[in-house]
Structure 1
Amino acid sequence: MADSDVPLKRVASRSSWQRVRKARPHLLLSRRGRRRFGVLTRGELRRLRRRLLRAHALGGDWKLGVTAGAHVAVKCKVRTRSRSASRSLPTPRSLPTLGRRQLPPCSQPPPRSWPERHVQTQSLNISQLTRDLGSGRVLFLLPGWEGFTFSGICRVTCIYGQVEIYGHIIKQGQPPRDVFSAYTHSFLTINGIQVSEPEKSEKEIRREIRALLKPHTKLEDRNWALKYLSHLGSILMLERLRTPAVDFMSSYKCASYVFRQESPPVKINPEYVTLRTVGIRRQRRKKGICLSESGLCALEELVNVSRVDGCPVILVCGACDIGKSTFNRILINQLLNSIPVADYLECDLGQTEFTPPGCIALLNITEPILGPPYTHQRRPQRMVYYGKMNCHNDHENYIEIIKYVMRDYKREAPLIINTMGWVTDEGLMLLVDLIRLLSPNYVVQLSSGRGKIMPALTAEYVDFTDGLYTKSKIKRRYRPFEIQEFGNNLEFADEEKDSSSFSVFTGHKLISVHSEFICSKNEKNRAKYNRIFRDLAVLGYLSQLMLPVPEPLSPLHSLTPYQVPFSAVAVRVTHADVAPAHILYALNANWVGLCKIVDDMKGYTRGPILLAQNPICDCLGFGICRGIDMEQRLYYILTPLPPEELRTVNCLLVGAISIPHCIFRKQPGPEGTVPYVTTSYNFKLLGATEKIGERQYGNALPRYKLYQKRKTRR
């Protein structure tokens, strides 16, 4: 009897487990209720995913979740809604978010209608969305409002519907776009867009799709596309991208990993095998670009203002590696969706967007930006070669160059100004000077939880804060006389304006953006990453030397250089003081800026001609001084500039920007020692400092580090 008082513990048997499984809801919109019964199997996960997608397509909201006891009511409610509605599918998220964020409901386009029997294509397996067409081509079906994040490079053609990449919308009938989703930056995402159009019957839509696919595919491929495509989706053709620029950069070891990664995934599926023929690979959505709510609102406001106002001046600022360049690319792409051109002023010396590093440039952008900076090197409207990666201890020259470049801005298009990531101490004061000088209408300030907190650059803050060369409104109020701070202000289009005019700051609107961009840089590896990006930018510029025809690549030492007499050009080292007797040592095997100064060099018969100070002049391009002939007194310059532009070049500027070491190390063809590469040289030469010595003699890092250790011991 005593034993009967002890409660017995009931063990779950197989029959009780079956009863629990039968009693669970048929349509459960949350996995939280199932976790108490144990881990789900793969089959259960697939069935759960299909039910969630089907419920979402019928109008249910999978984000809200439903209790286990209300599954019958929810199921009936979903079915009732599907009958009473006008057979229109909801829009899960607005496409231009470029991430998992959602725009306000007012900005979402209206959905398109389609018969209910095509709703089942929303739950297709990923292997049914791709089809190999042969010859490096793949037909890709992108469901409506879905995203495809990938790595690699390809050429995208929208055959039916329209998609969005990096803020740029590609519609059917438009020319193909080259897309670069490199491993050095966040991966790109192709998002489908729903478009409202007049009501069409199913037969008309199928006839239209067949006509669009006929020039590109065979009959069986068209039947496959019509079988699995939903009217809410888009049809894309992805092609393998092979250009001389890509082949040139991939031929060097330092850049071979940028566009291709050979490591296979853990699980190989049919989609991976199909996309591999194109040279791309699906990646997780979290590895793509994701904008915050504040970033989306800022983009929407700036695009709307540009449509109405026409030419606002937008200055983007923030700390290092916070997402300024990414925000600028998305903004430019969204602007080009509605206007033909956008202007861009580059003020960041270390990480330039369209030119090699060390430049301040003004550009007219007419084509979308679908890749990292080294994939879209372009010719600026006006460019000055500063020659260094930062403006420390040379702020005045930096300001004067920006004023010189801004003379070409005519206020005919929106202007986007990119600034440096130096926003502490003197850098913040210099940024205040730039805001007063350029007088932007909008200041977009990016911030994040990491790093130092930057003060809000409101109009009041700029008014009452001293800059490096300007004073606050309070100190100007008590001056007995006016002091000229700048020679010119923003209205540089009027060249006849008096040079003694004052810079007038009219105020701006501050737009604060919380950055959620994923960055792999930190204080320890930032210098290494920046050096790699600068080398890639130089390689991207030198890739213009390759012929635009499908021929084998030619090494740089096999190309024919231009002969430039000593008496035709002047020479200047911009970043260091070098003795005149050693100027040619610093110039040989170096990266040079091809510039045009006002002075005429025809009166000189001998050479070399040396400049006493750094000139502020137009830079037409860049090249490599691959040799100097002292007997014939000639420079040998290798550059992609055409001869008609080289005739106006009369100045060679040597800066701190170096030629990538991989160019010196990989020179197939010559026998014996490689030109310009040595480890036995004299560091005691005047001018053979850390920057010049390492750049001039290529890969001599072991000996250079040994010299630095000996110097430290002394």
Structure 2
Amino acid sequence: MLSAVAARKAAKAPATSSTITGNTSGQKSQSSTSSSSPKQRSKRASQLQKTRLNTKKARKLKPFEQPNGTKFADDLFKSQTDVIPVEMEYDEMSMSEDLLDVAETEAKVLHGSASSEDESMSEDSRMDVATLFPQLSQAAQHSEDNRQLTTWEPIADLNLFFLDRDESHALGLAGPTTLVCFREEESLCVLGTCQIAIVIGAVELCGLVLQEGPHQYPIFAPRSAPLPVFRQRSSTTPNRTFRDLPARVNGIANFKTVIAIWESVTGVEGLGKVCKNFGGIFEPSRWQQSVAHRPFGIDGLFMITRCARDLSPFTLPSSWSNAIHNATEVKDDAKSPAFFVKGPKNSGKSTLCRTMVNQLLQKYGRVAYLDCDIGQTEFTPPGVVSLTVVSRPIFGPPFTHPTLPRHAHFVGTTTPRSSPSQYLDSISSLLQSYQLDIQTPIYDLDNAADSRILHTIPLVVNTMGWIKGLGADLNQRIENLVAPTHVFDFQQPPIDSYPRYSAIQDNYEFLSSYGARGSATNPSFSKPSSVLLDPITSVVSSLPSSGFTAADHRNLSMISYFYATFSKDTNADLFSDTPATTWNVSHPLCAIPPYEVDCAIAFDKVILTGAGSEDVVNEEIQRVLNGAIVGLISCEPGVLETTKDEGSGIPYTQKSSVPPPSASRCVGLALVRGVSQLFNSGSTLRQSKTLLHLITPAPVSYLQQARVVVKGDLELPVWGMLDFRSFEKYGTLGGEVAGVQGESVPYMQWGKAPDGVHGAEKRKVRRNLMRRGQM
């Protein structure tokens, strides 16, 4: 490799120097040395000495030779016939920078490049690693990190108009509104929260083209997720005319697209006060002030001009867009398609499913979303598999749209490793509910003015990122249960590794008990259309890391659920989901008044599930439930045998099994803030009753149906146990505010433990008992 580098340097040298050999080379080097100054001669001497040292270090070892010159005992190896001695060679790709310097210096010495002219030429001809790896070059990284996101330039009273309340009513909007006017091919990237409506034309947002109309869309754009970018698109509907607007606004008809933006008051920004590592995610950070501006006059909304640290725009690869467009194209409106998405973690499955739901809502009135990823859920807290009916586009990460689904089952853990049978049974029950109750709606209340397809509801299935071992088997069983019409696979195996039509057909008779969509005798069953997609990390060359892990997003989703405010209006309509409208973060969870529930009257049974749950005796059930997250389960009458425990006052039986998913459902989660006993002194006997203090955002009408409590492995994040009000007042998590003391929080330690206490240091937990590739 060194000789090859030297040859390239020699080829770039002058022809006269390349022909000098023998005594002539010595004479030239001697004359050049004598004509140079003493300082230059000493500098060249030191460089030559350094070159010899580096050359000595980089000396290639002979076969079976150690660096100190001794030889290995190779007689034993040479005597074997099945061993082939191979000479050691340097790897070209792993050559370090100092070896390149050695090669360059040798080329200078051997070919007489000691003059200033030759030195400048060799400096310009230095090998650049970017020629081999263009994505590692500083120019490429600089262009990716500073690419322009917003081409729209705000000019007041020209393409930016501020309307008061009366002027907004002329457009059919409520409250002060800002009109943003786009010309052709202009774009706008935003950070924060707002509400939008399309006034004129059309705009593309997160892979969805929004046409003008009366629909209003909430936008949630935190720094922890890719930022939405508004792009002007051509409209397919005629432009509206406005007659009641002032003269200064009548010029908006000359623009291609006009959108109305106004403030969104939901309180979702307050979640950063609870979960400190997500604090200020709806605002630019200190190093992003140069690229963030506030031209809209709306609190909590910023315009992002260029990419910056921890800021990345929403990017939909062209291959994804083409695959979604071809799959969601309505060919036969009598059938309801089923889309199955699978692949490893961090590949973009949730983004693809969210984009697919948004595009399906342009053609269908509602879309069913089956969430099989209990670790990174979309509409529910972690540990729940759910079937949610979506009726409006989604513009925001999962923690911004928690929903109370009509069909859900509580698994109680973030991985199905400990309970795979319960996980499969829950998904099978959800698929059966989809086929019987949702797939073909019997009636629709608001189908008069809607031109979309309403008599059928498509299905989108998102799977977990565990694709090896047991996880691969579970995903394959789910795919057989769903019998999808379209499969999106982020893996890249050979095409032959896909299950053949005959193999799927043979499994249908066995899986009929799980509620499969078809069977081998069903003539309408056909082979699914499989599409291979590249993961988002390989398609997009530069994705700034937000710095948040999957556990952080899971904790934020759990906290967002408990602080969410759901609609109290109970609608008997099967197809209306119940999304969160606002978030109330005025008080921490430790200061919210809980429900006081008598276990003997309100609940029929308390069940523990998960690893080690069968070892909990009746005397310890109160300690186990204290501070736990439980699932509120509604069961059909006669499914479980009710038990009453007189000792603890809690209807708990050791080693009880969870109710079957086919006869039960989860109505919500609750936090057991505390367990207390109330003693009543009678004439002859002294009786006591056990009270559970529950905190849950579920409406009261939902709670009346829950008669069973199930505790799994879910835990409340540490941020949910703290009183954030003390931090706002004192700057620390301690102190006393409104009677809540931070130092008195149970099982929490403030500050450093005193010296001499065993277990005070942070211990490293080893979780590598089995390699990832062996799972």
Q: In the alignment, which residue of structure 2 is the partner of 1:562?
A: 595
CA distance in 1: counterparts of 2:269 and 2:546, whole angstroms: 25
Distance 2:607 2:547 in 1: 27
Q: Using a 3 Å threshold, how does the CA distance of structure 1 residues 124 and 183 change in structure 2: closer, same or farther? A: closer
Partner of 1:281: 303
- Mapped to 2, the partners of 1:273 and 1:263 lie a distance apart of 19
Which residue is 2:32 aligned to? none
Match of 2:628 in 1: 590
User: Residue 419 of structure 1 aligns to which amino acid in structure 2?
Assistant: T
Cα 1:284–1:666 change in 2 (3 A) is same
Could you tell which deviates more after superposition, 252-261 or 386-395? Answer: 252-261
Q: Does 1:211 align with 2:243?
A: yes
Q: 1:661 to 1:161 in 2, by over 3 A?
A: same
Q: Aligned-pair distance for 1:541? A: 1.2
Is residue 496 of structure 2 the alignment partner of residue 418 of structure 1?
no
Segment of structure 1 superposing worse, 311-320 or 506-515: 506-515
SS of the residue aligned with 2:346?
coil
The aligned counterpart of 2:412 is 387
User: 1:130/1:359 Cα in 2 relative to 1: closer, same or farther (>3 Å)?
Assistant: same
Please list the CA deviations of residues 36-60 of structure 1 after superposition, one character each: whole Å capped at 9, or x if unmatched.
xxxxxxxxxxxxxxxxxxxxxxxxx
Aligned letter for 2:551?
Answer: R
Give the match's secondary structure for 1:532: helix
Return closer, same or farther for 1:601/1:556 CA change in 2, 3 Å cut-off.
farther
Change (3 A) 1:705 1:145: farther
Query: Is the CA contact 1:564–1:637 (under 8 Å) kept in the aligned structure 2?
Result: yes
Aligned to 1:576: 611
The aligned residue for residue 659 of structure 2 is 615
Decide which moves more: 151-160 or 259-268.
259-268
Pair 1:185-2:225 in alignment: yes
What amino acid maps onto 1:512 in structure 2?
L
> Are 2:172 and 1:130 equivalent residues in the alignment?
no
Counterpart of 1:670 (choices 728, 739, 748) is 739
* CA deviation vs aligned residue, 1:334-355 (integer Å, no higher than 9, x gap): 1111210011111111001010
Question: Which amino acid in structure 1 is aligned with residue 187 of structure 2?
Answer: G
Deviation, structure 1 residue 583: 2.5
**SS of the residue 1:427 aligns to:** helix
Residue 172 of structure 1 is aligned with which of 193, 212, 215?
Answer: 212
The answer as to 2:735 corresponding to 1:657 is no
Contact 2:268 2:583 in 1 (8 A): no
Kindly indicate whether residue 235 of structure 2 is the aligned counterpart of residue 235 of structure 1: no
Where does the alignment leave 5 or more consecutive residues of structure 1 unmatched?
A: 1-98, 101-121, 199-204, 448-452, 465-469, 477-481, 682-701
After TM superposition, list the pairs within 5 Å mapping 1:226-375 onto structure 2.
Answer: 226=252, 230-231=254-255, 233-248=256-271, 250=273, 252-263=275-286, 265=288, 267=290, 272-274=294-296, 277-284=299-306, 287-305=312-330, 308-375=333-400
CA distance 1:252–1:434, change in 2 (3 Å):
closer
2: CA distance, partners of 1:710 / 1:142: 55
Equivalent position SS for 1:370? coil
Q: Secondary structure at the match of 2:631?
A: strand
Displacement of 1:421 in angstroms is 0.8
SS in 1 for 2:412: coil
Is the 8 Å Cα contact of residues 679 and 703 (structure 1) preserved in structure 2? no
Shift of 1:601: 7.2
Q: Determine helix, strand or coil for the equivalent of 2:364.
A: coil
**Partner AA of 2:634 in structure 1:** K
Structure 1 letter corresponding to 2:284: Q
2:699 to 638, 642, 656: 642
* Residues 671/420 of structure 1: CA separation in 2 closer, same or farther (3 Å cut): closer
Q: Structure 1 vs Structure 2: percent identity of aligned residues?
A: 20
Offset, 1:219: 4.6
> For the structure 1 residues 670 and 510, does the alpha-carbon distance in structure 2 shift closer, same or farther, using more than 3 Å as the test?
same
Give the Cα separation in 2 of the matches to 1:660 and 1:559: 17
Deviation, structure 1 residue 584:
2.0
Q: Give the deviation of 1:165 after TM superposition.
A: 2.0
- SS of the residue 1:287 aligns to: coil
- 1:320-372 CA-to-partner distances (Å, cap 9, x unmatched) read 01111111111111111121001111111100101001111111111111110
Q: Aligned AA for 1:211? A: R
The SS at the match of 1:621 is strand
Cα distance change, pair 158–675 in 1 and its aligned pair in 2 (3 A): farther
Counting only pairs closer than 5 Å after superposition, residues 486-505 of structure 1 correspond to structure 2 as 487-491=513-517
Q: 2:478 aligns with which of 413, 434, 439?
A: 434
Q: Distance in 1 between matches of 2:539 and 2:621?
A: 40
**Structure 1 Cα separation of the partners of residues 762 and 538 of structure 2:** 38
Give the aligned residue type for 1:403. S
Relative to the length of structure 1, the TM-score reads 0.65
Deviation at 1:146, TM superposition (A): 2.8
